[in-house]
Structure 1
Amino acid sequence: MITLPSTLPRIVARQRAQADKLRAQHGIDPQPWYRITNQADPDEAEVMLYDDIGGWYGATADQFIADLRGITAPNLRVRINSPGGSVFEGIAIANALRSHPANVTIQVDGIAASIASLIAMAGDRIEMAPNTMMMIHDASGLCMGNASDMEEMAELLDLISDNIADAYSARAGGTREDWRERMRAETWYLPKDAVDAGLADEATQAPKTGTPAAAPAEDDPEPDMHRPYDLAAYGYAGPQQAAAALTEDIRSLVGDEVAAALRAQVAEPVPAPAEGTVPAEPTPVVAEHQPAEAAPDEWAAAVAHLMRSAPSPWAALTAHLTKTPTSSSAATDA
């Protein structure tokens, strides 16, 4: 098969026939690649191009253009998220948008790449939504044949790329060769870059953020989330009670006498008396709680014999091996 201008109509016809056949086999909506809807505002209609342009599943321009004629709203918003596709189908769509009487606003929702970027050039106004991209590159195609066929295909692809470059030049200024240079490099544009290059009119603002909550009035009670956690339900009444409880726990572990001795160690030193004065008698340290005489623990007495360590017969047999000799002898090497 040779891809030449004279064979292009037959190629497009075969693609459309194949598209119809595949749609019937797979039960696919005959318009899976675009959607036209009326917005809440009766003065604006919306077209969504969210698929490849051209291809085996019938993304062709004829039905799109027929539906486009039925739009009578004065404003038309075309939302694009497409990687591109067939050059000639894209050119037909772009020209249909240019000739439509409505004021056409192109809104890039995701990506407008390859021939989809040329469709974007058909808008009266082009907007790049946040984080979107636009990509331009040279046309590509397939060819089967001899060397002469390949040369003719190369000439055709250069002619198609020049034609696309003219569309960018008409929109953004510059020469055909300027845009061909960018197309050969496969240039990608972020929203601001597209605006700076003249390929878009506006990079729209970032997505809306949530409305901050109003600050509580001064006389309002403190919000529950900001209050310290209340531990009263667990018997906690503050650091003073915790310190007292800790003191009681230590006293129960070490005894009143040891606790009093420790308290004396950390007590502030008493300054030495001045000369000629009689030192005051030291105040005896009296334990705060006199230990009551402990009642005999019958249970401890009953199980005391269970806690005694039984002699180990192995330890008895090996005791002579672990005794330290009383005299030393010289070591010998084996």
Structure 2
Amino acid sequence: MITLPANLPGFVARQREHAEKQRAQLGVEARSWYRITNAADPDEAEVMLYDEIGGWFGSTADELIADLRGITAPRMRVRVNSPGGSVFEGVAIANALRSHPAQVTVQVDGIAASIASVIAMAGDRIEMAPNTMMMIHDASGVCMGNASDMEEMAELLDLISDNIADAYAAKAGGTRDEWRARMKAETWYLPEDAVAAGLADEAVQTPKAGAPTEPAEPEPDMARAWDLAAYGYQGPRPAEPAPTATLTEDIRTLVGEEVAAQLAAAVVPPTEATTAAESADEVTASEPAVTPAEAAPEAPAAEPVDEWAAAVAHLVQPPSDPWAAAVAHLINSTSAASSATEAA
């Protein structure tokens, strides 16, 4: 950063007069170091600081500050790309930004070095675009004169550098001496370094306007699953327990009463004979006495009639012998007489 010589009376006045002559000659082109527009967003004004700062280079802060007063948008974005310039002009711009009612966001587009970094500290929020840089260093200046003049200039430069260190400390924390040590070393910061040091709030990644935003980690095509929700699919259903078969049909209706009785008799286990002592032990007082009627065994089931056998019985019997039938009474009489004689 460059200061004005302390030992040259009227230097500032001559520089302002020179700047006014340049503006009169060049017109609008003399203000090319900054531009203000509301075109980007009706609620956000855009201020671009894209050149050296201050009277050394024919550009003073008074006109920029006057234009800042005309901004009525609730937000202001100040885009900086400047190597620095006059300390006092930069301090005036920084204070104008601090006192403005709009919410001020400073966006470093290229470089914010020297006094331009101090202007950046005036933002309510400071953003570093990709690949940008910020640089801080001690104040410097030009002096002509004797040793006393040089000593006076050295004291002034130390005072200005202390003042600038306070601006960094107010934003990032720390002490004046810590920041003076960094300034004397002429420290350069990349976006991430500026955020780590507290000189910026965010290292932004600005996507191209109109470009689609890709996910941070796109899922491989082969790993993507079909979404069947549109077809009413709600996932696999839980397995249902197999139904338990229960036989409720009466077997008698299937095989008939007679066959059912035979099956029942076949599955009854045989009754084993027991001794009188065992029977006596098994009888308890709670059991009622068994009467003879109750103890009588059930009559055996009647043999089932084989209707088919009855129907074909006459077919399998031998035919009757007529001769045997004719002499049958003779045989029967003889047998009867024999029986009577034996009995006598």
Alignment of 1:185 onto 2:216: no
The answer to whether the 8 A contact 1:52-1:85 is kept is: yes
Please state how far the C-alpha of 1:207 moved relative to its aligned partner.
4.2
- 1:12 to 1:46, Cα distance in 2 relative to 1, 3 A: same
Q: Could you say what the CA RMSD is over the residues aligned between the two structures, in angstroms? A: 2.3
Match of 2:195 in 1: 195
The answer to whether the 8 A contact 1:22-1:57 is kept is: no
Aligned counterparts of 2:146 and 2:95: Cα–Cα separation in 1 = 35
Please state how far the C-alpha of 1:25 moved relative to its aligned partner.
4.2
The answer to whether the 8 A contact 2:126-2:201 is kept is: yes
Match of 2:104 in 1: 104
Alignment of 1:74 onto 2:74: yes
Match of 1:52 in 2: 52
Alignment of 1:223-242 (within 5 A): none
Structure 1 residues 53-102: Cα deviation after superposition (integer angstroms, max 9, x where no partner)? 01454321111111000001000000000000000000000000000000
Structure 1 residues 293-318: Cα deviation after superposition (integer angstroms, max 9, x where no partner)? xxxxxxxxxxxxxxxxxxxxxxxxxx
SS of the residue corresponding to residue 122 of structure 1 reads coil
Match of 1:231 in 2: none
- 1:67 to 1:211, Cα distance in 2 relative to 1, 3 A: closer
- 1:75 to 1:62, Cα distance in 2 relative to 1, 3 A: same
Alignment of 1:1-334 (within 5 A): 3-4=5-6, 7=9, 10-26=10-26, 29-205=29-205, 207-208=207-208
Please state how far the C-alpha of 1:41 moved relative to its aligned partner.
2.3
Unpaired runs of 5+ residues, structure 2, are 215-344
The answer to whether the 8 A contact 2:56-2:85 is kept is: no
Aligned counterparts of 1:24 and 1:137: Cα–Cα separation in 2 = 34
Structure 1 residues 164-215: Cα deviation after superposition (integer angstroms, max 9, x where no partner)? 00000000000000000000000000000000000000000154496599xx
Aligned counterparts of 1:34 and 1:26: Cα–Cα separation in 2 = 15
- 1:186 to 1:75, Cα distance in 2 relative to 1, 3 A: same
Aligned counterparts of 1:124 and 1:212: Cα–Cα separation in 2 = 28
Aligned counterparts of 2:27 and 2:97: Cα–Cα separation in 1 = 29
Count of matched residue pairs: 211
Give the TM-score, by structure 2 length: 0.58
- 1:212 to 1:56, Cα distance in 2 relative to 1, 3 A: closer
**Which one has a bigger Cα radius of gyration?**
2
Match of 1:318 in 2: none
Aligned counterparts of 2:82 and 2:158: Cα–Cα separation in 1 = 23
Aligned counterparts of 1:5 and 1:103: Cα–Cα separation in 2 = 39
Aligned counterparts of 2:27 and 2:57: Cα–Cα separation in 1 = 11
Letter aligned with residue 181 of structure 1 = A
